[in-house]
Amino acid sequence: MRALIQRVTAASVRVAGETIGEIDQGLLILICAMQGDDATKSAQMAAKISKLRIFTDDTGKMNRSLVDTGGSALIVSQFTLAADTSRGNRPGFSTAARPAEGKALYEQFIKDMGALGINTATGEFGADMAVSLTNDGPITIWLDI
């Protein structure tokens, strides 16, 4: 699985003009299931993200995790994270999981994050979404598992 995470003070996602998910302090997680991914990789990604020490402690050091802070996660599917631009200017997405498999793994990842005690909000798989965020830091991290 591949994820782009951003530490935020607020984030929301809208579909057809309606807000369907929003959080205050926490992480915006753009997630992409890749070919060959399975439930084990989803659980590994959730565990890794929940424990990343990217929130500041009382001394100003990045020493606290999402679990430590009680922050939330806005989880948005984004197959374009699988973009391959090695052969020209038009990205290819053949390394992304097929839609049915991608949707199942997206839903599994949401469950995995919830099972770790993370309050979650979501986008809508396959929808045309408008995502808004206030990046905190800015802290933006790319993860592959």
Catalytic pick from 19, 35, 44, 80?
80
For this structure, is 56 an active site residue?
no
| pTM for the whole structure | 0.95
Catalytic pick from 79, 108, 109, 120?
79
CATH number at 132 reads 3.50.80.10
Task: Assess if residue 145 is contained within a domain.
Answer: no
Task: Assess if residue 136 is contained within a domain.
Answer: yes
Cα–Cα nearest to 140, from 41, 30, 32, 12: 30
Task: Assess if residue 25 is contained within a domain.
Answer: yes
Catalytic pick from 6, 55, 78, 109?
78
For this structure, is 79 an active site residue?
yes
pLDDT digits (tens, 9 = 90+) for 105-130: 999 999 999 999 999 999 999 999 99
pLDDT digits (tens, 9 = 90+) for 11-22: 999 999 999 999
For this structure, is 125 an active site residue?
no
Total domain count for the chain?
1
Please give the residue range of the domain that contains residue 128. Answer: 2-140
With residue 136 as reference, give the H or E element that holds it. Answer: strand 129-144
